[in-house]
Structure 1
Amino acid sequence: MVRTHALSLLGEPALPPGFPHWPWVNPDAPKGGEIALTAIGSFDSFNPFVLRGTAAVGIGNLYDRLTRTSADEAATDYGHLAETIELSADRLTIAYELREGARWHDGRPITAEDVVWTFETLRQHGRPFYRAYWADVAEVKADGPRRVVYRLRTAQNRELPQIIGQMYVLPKHWWEGRDFARPSLDIPLGSGPYRIERFEPGRTIVYRRVEDYWARDLNTMRGTANWDRIRYEYFRDNTVALEAFKAGQIDFRTENVAKDWATAYDFPAARRGLVRLEEIRHEIPTGMQCFAVNLRRPLFRDARVRRALIEVFDFEWMNANLFYGAYTRTTSYFSNSELASSGLPEGREREILEGFRGRIPEEVFTEEYRLPVTDGSGSNRDALRRALRLLREAGWTVRDRRLVNAEGRPFEFEILLSSPSFERVALPYREWLERLGMSVQVRTVDPAQYQKRIESFDYDMTVEVIPQSLSPGNEQRDFFTCAKVEEPGSRNVAGICDPVIDELVELVIAAPDRAELVARTRALDRVLLWHNFVVPHWHIQSFRVAYWDKFGRPPRNPRYDLGLDSWWVERGREGAVEEGRRAAAEPQRR
């Protein structure tokens, strides 16, 4: 067994044993103050680990994990609850030794039994994601009060030891006598840096910093969790939340709407310098945001139909007219990373794909996958002609300005949204689709209803975000494999089921080294693209943040995260900002 303080998929961890703190934090950051943040929708549960209910945001603040992921390294986890990690030479056994002194908020020690109970409970009663993520774990047991041992089914799943360590650990004794599968507003017992101080169901939740938090001086926590209170205020939609920020009710927000970033922040407090606007660059893989069709619906099972939906999506017009030129078109499921495929397959990637020749589109070997590009004028006739040709090949024709099949059934479907802010994208898209003779409805529902419909696959098309990391692995099963197509709550939103993709996902999970992981992921990416499962959207390589100028922050951000938990309240600024808020509100009162 190799005994270590950290695990990395990219060689040796960058930080040595006993490192003092994360490189990007201020270890002497002052504690205190409050940060008020935004949440959209509502909540009726404090259990985010099950399908039922809508969990409050921020619940992760209550719990600790065996390890913490470095936001400055691509794939490295350092011991947190676990003081040491032991990995056997054959990579079939991993053991975590818990820190002496780790305890729950009620003072009871965190034990190996808690870890075992959490793992088994999440796998049995938790979201389907956990069963896919940990499918290669054969057994877990407590080998003493502070030692947990996992036995794995295969040594090929290289990331599994790390993702096991990323599990939130829950208190077995608190959950005894409670139904884990039921949503509940009982304030849960945790061990993390915050506890729930107060809440109004569906409206507000406030987390209070735990003064005697057992890990407050650990190197994985020093310089973070600096707020005394974290308050989340819930709003009906993003438009109302933005107005609340401008009125000073909210301290900090990230802006995801390009139009609002360009036009909505010219208000008195911003002009007076009381509100700061910044674009903070990052190196995070941006994954795939898209319109995803539901392949469980017969309407979308023909790849030619799906390509027609792609052809008429005029990104260039949208970027110029809706997004102020802020975005880059997404052309990969692994965008903004070395894992994205491009050009024609070469070298090892081509070797992998040759093994599937005859079972994947032949164009994979002969053509670079390309999305249509327009001049942005809104006159997209060439794309309409290409789309109509594809639809005719798939058996659809236009009769009396309606697209119908051989039986005369119209081509009609619904685009399901959870936020009104996305209607400005969906409505032009609907117009372009209707030029083909399709009948398209755009429907926006509240977040709770949206979540229920997504989990039960009750939609035709919706907006989906498939996140990716620099180390793809077990989560790909939940995104893309046949086993997850009919499992309620899975993240296979598109309903993708293809034996080749299943095999490629397993190859990615079993990649023995970085070079092979890159080649196998690019092969998976290329096959996914050529099936035209989704209508790709766009991405941006920076965080757009707006905040009232009462915060201090470290000199730099980590490469793969915003690092907001390392910011703090500057007492001297807090008073000036409060005065500015009152002055800004004064004209309204008069």
Structure 2
Amino acid sequence: MARFLKNCLLALGLWMSGTAWAAHAYAQFGDIRYPAGFAHFAYVSPDAPKGGEIVLVPPTRQTHFDKYNPFTLKGSAPPSMLNMLFDTLLVGNMDEPNTAYGLLASDIQVATDRMSVVFQIHPQARFHNGDPVLAVDVRHTFERLTSKQAAPQYRTYFGEVKSATVLAERSIRFDFVRPNSELPLIVGSMPVFSRKWGLQGNTHKAFDQMVMDIPIASGPYRIGPVQFGKDITYVRDPAYWAQDLNVRKGQFNFDRITYKIYKDSTAQLEAFKAGEFDYMQSFVAREWARAFTGRAFERGALIKAELPHGNAGDFQGFQFNLRREQFKDVRVRQAIALAMDFEWLNRQLFYNAYSRVRGFFVASDFEAKGLPGPDELALLQPLRAQLPAAVFEQAVPQPPQTALDPASGHTLRDHLRQARDLLKDAGWTYRDGALRNAKGQAFSIEFLDSSGSMGRVVTPFAKNLEKLGIQVRYKVIDFALLQKRMDVFDFDIVSNRSVGSEAPGTELLERFGAKSADVEGSGNILGLKDPAVDALLDQAVSATTRPELVTRLRALDRVLRHGHYVVPHWYGAVHRVSWRAAAFERPAELPRFYQPEKLVTSVWWSPAAARPKAPSSATQKAP
């Protein structure tokens, strides 16, 4: 959720030291590409026609939805609701990861000491009920999102925002706990809703009791027809207040956007081939190679494309629950990682389509390499007493790489021998038919999955773990149940993916910070509590230049990788997507940084919308 907020919005205005200033945009680091009064973003078609529809499936593993409030912990909201319904003070674009431009905010003013920011609300901004968007609505939103009734990640995300103060009808100031060049981006990314949402008479319902109340927001779409829990249609608001703003020009072109939810991935793909929906993204290499085939593809009715992008690599891996006693020893975690043979998986299952995830910021400027240099050492030396000596003396750990040559010393058998020795050093030995500790307790691991697609990976991995005496269970459960178990930390190991970012920042506090480790529903899936990590996180979020951010995140990546908290998976260099050829047209230019679902729903359009409407006549001929 925090990642969605930051990626969707980022921004404010160029910092000029010495004086307060006002601007149409904000760049955390570097220059602002588009000047005041710019016409439109480069990757859109400003004259794209409005009309038509798109039917698609969510790219997540979502199997249902049971509420309309996307800001609370319990339950699942409809897919893409935040992007469709809610406007924000600032909005990012797909070419500048550290820059955002005014949307609800027509003007941004940052104090000289960087301890506050003032937003002027656009005078034309309107909610779907026709009410103007006012400063009191922005403050109300902030207070609701930071209350204990909202999902806990919001309190972490906005944790360094001290207060929101209404200065005038359309003017609001946010005060910060400390100077931080990212904080204007953080508050600018807040989805704003009306203070009348959930109002009963003169009293607001408790925020976590607002389940079926339709949000009163100001975005480009409203909720249309719904088959509750299964399908939802968003209907474009023809009176959308921002449709002619430069930051919205050429965007949100479909009159209707429908998400269909399938509980079974095989049924979903067959439904796509049968014409039940128009677009989908594939995350499984074998499926992409073998199942996205057939006559519809051969005759060009369905398009299959690998779209290039400049995104940082996504992090994906099996994540250990460090709250479990058997995973507290780093040697155990390292041993388990040695049992996964990625090279075999890539050859036999993935069609050599992937590269190995090496760390938490793979394929980005923030990825640690080799030994720490002087800039990293300056950050790490004060933490030496809290860090293992290997951080200073050894190159940053790389995932195990198996070889076929028996003389290499890196065959799977070699790796399993290393794993056996590490487990023995950690107090786990094989006896009585299982790997056991000094108390005689057998070592067991349960892998949880919501779709079953990870089974073909877990099966060979489990066989290797069983050779070490580890008992393995693989359990497929509904996504809602999996999410609930993750929220309350009731799992051993789970596969998880975090979308790569060109500007990681405050969201890392929730992902790795000790304060969020015991908060139910937090993004700290690992349960990581490490004072050295917390110190580096603090350094990262307080960076004032991009070189500072790069150095601090490399140091963080290095320390995390020496902790062996995950079994790294893989990532791809392209987006694998497929769509119905007659359903869409799209701009000629691809942006640099994007996720395909958002690209399709925001800048593509229906060719049917450009056709002149046929006259209504009883004698009209069929096309």
Q: Does 1:335 align with 2:335?
A: no
Report the AA paired with residue 255 of structure 1. S
Determine helix, strand or coil for the equivalent of 1:173. coil
Write the mapping of 1:314-325 to structure 2, written as runs, cut at 5 A. 314-325=341-352
Q: Which residue of 1 aligns with 2:301?
A: 274
Of 212, 218, 230, which residue of structure 2 is paired with 1:191? 218
Q: Does 1:116 align with 2:149?
A: no
Q: Which residue of 2 aligns with 1:294?
A: 321
Report the AA paired with residue 278 of structure 1. A
Report the AA paired with residue 136 of structure 1. E
Distance 1:376 1:175 in 2: 63
Of 242, 245, 248, which residue of structure 1 is paired with 2:269? 242
Q: Which residue of 2 aligns with 1:567?
A: 604
Of 72, 75, 91, which residue of structure 2 is paired with 1:50? 72
Q: Which residue of 1 aligns with 2:586?
A: 553
Report the AA paired with residue 139 of structure 2. V
Determine helix, strand or coil for the equivalent of 1:85. strand
Determine helix, strand or coil for the equivalent of 1:135. coil
Distance 2:136 2:198 in 1: 13
**Can you list the C-alpha shifts for 1:74-123, whole angstroms capped at 9, x where unaligned?**
21010001001000111011001011111011111011111000001000
Determine helix, strand or coil for the equivalent of 1:355. helix
Determine helix, strand or coil for the equivalent of 2:495. strand
Q: Which residue of 2 aligns with 1:152?
A: 176
Distance 1:558 1:474 in 2: 25
Write the mapping of 1:415-430 to structure 2, written as runs, cut at 5 A. 415-430=447-462
Q: Which residue of 2 aligns with 1:221?
A: 248
Q: Which residue of 1 aligns with 2:400?
A: 372
Q: Does 1:168 align with 2:187?
A: no
Q: Is the 8 A contact 2:198 2:210 kept in 1?
A: no
Report the AA paired with residue 38 of structure 2. F
Q: Is the 8 A contact 2:86 2:193 kept in 1?
A: yes
Write the mapping of 1:130-149 to structure 2, written as runs, cut at 5 A. 130-149=154-173
**Can you list the C-alpha shifts for 1:214-253, whole angstroms capped at 9, x where unaligned?**
0000111111101010001110022221111111111001
Q: Does 1:25 align with 2:44?
A: yes
Q: Which residue of 1 aligns with 2:374?
A: 347
Report the AA paired with residue 190 of structure 2. M
Question: Cα distance, 1:12 vs. partner?
Answer: 2.3
Distance 2:176 2:514 in 1: 23
Distance 1:238 1:188 in 2: 30
Distance 1:419 1:573 in 2: 39
Question: Cα distance, 1:347 vs. partner?
Answer: 2.4
Q: TM-score of the superposition, structure 2-length normalised?
A: 0.90
Q: Is the 8 A contact 1:455 1:488 kept in 2?
A: yes
Determine helix, strand or coil for the equivalent of 1:345. coil
Moved more, 475-484 or 177-186: 177-186
Moved more, 461-470 or 416-425: 461-470
Distance 1:414 1:244 in 2: 32
Distance 2:238 2:384 in 1: 61
Determine helix, strand or coil for the equivalent of 2:146. helix
Q: Is the 8 A contact 1:283 1:336 kept in 2?
A: no
**Can you list the C-alpha shifts for 1:507-544, whole angstroms capped at 9, x where unaligned?**
00111211111000000000000000110101112111
Q: TM-score of the superposition, structure 1-length normalised?
A: 0.95
Question: Cα distance, 1:183 vs. partner?
Answer: 5.4
Shift in CA distance, 191/572, structure 1 to aligned 2, threshold 3 Å: closer
Determine helix, strand or coil for the equivalent of 2:384. coil
Distance 2:132 2:105 in 1: 13
Q: Is the 8 A contact 1:5 1:79 kept in 2?
A: yes
Distance 1:468 1:355 in 2: 29
Report the AA paired with residue 138 of structure 2. V
Distance 1:166 1:100 in 2: 19
Question: Cα distance, 1:179 vs. partner?
Answer: 2.9
Determine helix, strand or coil for the equivalent of 2:289. helix
Q: Which residue of 2 aligns with 1:579?
A: none
Alignment gaps of 5+ in structure 1: 576-590
Q: Which residue of 1 aligns with 2:618?
A: none
Determine helix, strand or coil for the equivalent of 1:184. coil
Question: Cα distance, 1:574 vs. partner?
Answer: 10
Q: Which residue of 1 aligns with 2:86?
A: 63
Question: Cα distance, 1:287 vs. partner?
Answer: 3.8
Report the AA paired with residue 593 of structure 2. Y
Determine helix, strand or coil for the equivalent of 1:535. strand
Q: Which residue of 1 aligns with 2:63?
A: 41
Question: Cα distance, 1:190 vs. partner?
Answer: 2.0
Report the AA paired with residue 521 of structure 1. L
Determine helix, strand or coil for the equivalent of 2:297. helix
CA RMSD of aligned residues (A): 1.6
Of 100, 104, 115, which residue of structure 1 is paired with 2:127? 104
Distance 1:143 1:434 in 2: 64
Report the AA paired with residue 566 of structure 1. V
Determine helix, strand or coil for the equivalent of 1:358. helix
Distance 2:209 2:370 in 1: 49
Shift in CA distance, 347/379, structure 1 to aligned 2, threshold 3 Å: closer
Question: Cα distance, 1:571 vs. partner?
Answer: 2.2
Alignment gaps of 5+ in structure 2: 1-19, 613-623
Question: Runs of 4 or more off by more than 3 Å in structure 1?
Answer: 376-379, 572-575
Q: Which residue of 2 aligns with 1:180?
A: 207
Q: Is the 8 A contact 1:549 1:573 kept in 2?
A: no
Determine helix, strand or coil for the equivalent of 1:420. coil
Q: Does 1:475 align with 2:507?
A: yes
Determine helix, strand or coil for the equivalent of 2:305. strand
Shift in CA distance, 214/426, structure 1 to aligned 2, threshold 3 Å: same
Distance 2:198 2:367 in 1: 43
Q: Is the 8 A contact 2:153 2:522 kept in 1?
A: yes
Q: Is the 8 A contact 1:466 1:479 kept in 2?
A: no
Q: Which residue of 2 aligns with 1:580?
A: none
Distance 2:291 2:75 in 1: 34
Distance 1:460 1:172 in 2: 41
Distance 2:212 2:411 in 1: 53
Of 456, 479, 483, which residue of structure 1 is paired with 2:488? 456
Q: Which residue of 2 aligns with 1:584?
A: none
Distance 1:295 1:424 in 2: 25
Question: Cα distance, 1:566 vs. partner?
Answer: 0.4
Of 463, 471, 487, which residue of structure 2 is paired with 1:439? 471
Determine helix, strand or coil for the equivalent of 2:206. coil
Distance 1:530 1:456 in 2: 27
Question: Cα distance, 1:408 vs. partner?
Answer: 1.1
Q: Which residue of 2 aligns with 1:585?
A: none
Q: Is the 8 A contact 1:93 1:149 kept in 2?
A: yes
Q: Does 1:466 align with 2:498?
A: yes
**Can you list the C-alpha shifts for 1:445-465, whole angstroms capped at 9, x where unaligned?**
101111110100010110112
Question: Cα distance, 1:181 vs. partner?
Answer: 0.6
Q: Is the 8 A contact 1:278 1:546 kept in 2?
A: yes
Distance 2:469 2:122 in 1: 64
Write the mapping of 1:73-84 to structure 2, written as runs, cut at 5 A. 73-84=96-107
Write the mapping of 1:504-515 to structure 2, written as runs, cut at 5 A. 504-515=536-547
Q: Does 1:393 align with 2:425?
A: yes
Distance 2:108 2:264 in 1: 44
Report the AA paired with residue 177 of structure 2. R
**Can you list the C-alpha shifts for 1:544-572, whole angstroms capped at 9, x where unaligned?**
11000021111111111132210011129
Distance 2:611 2:289 in 1: 27
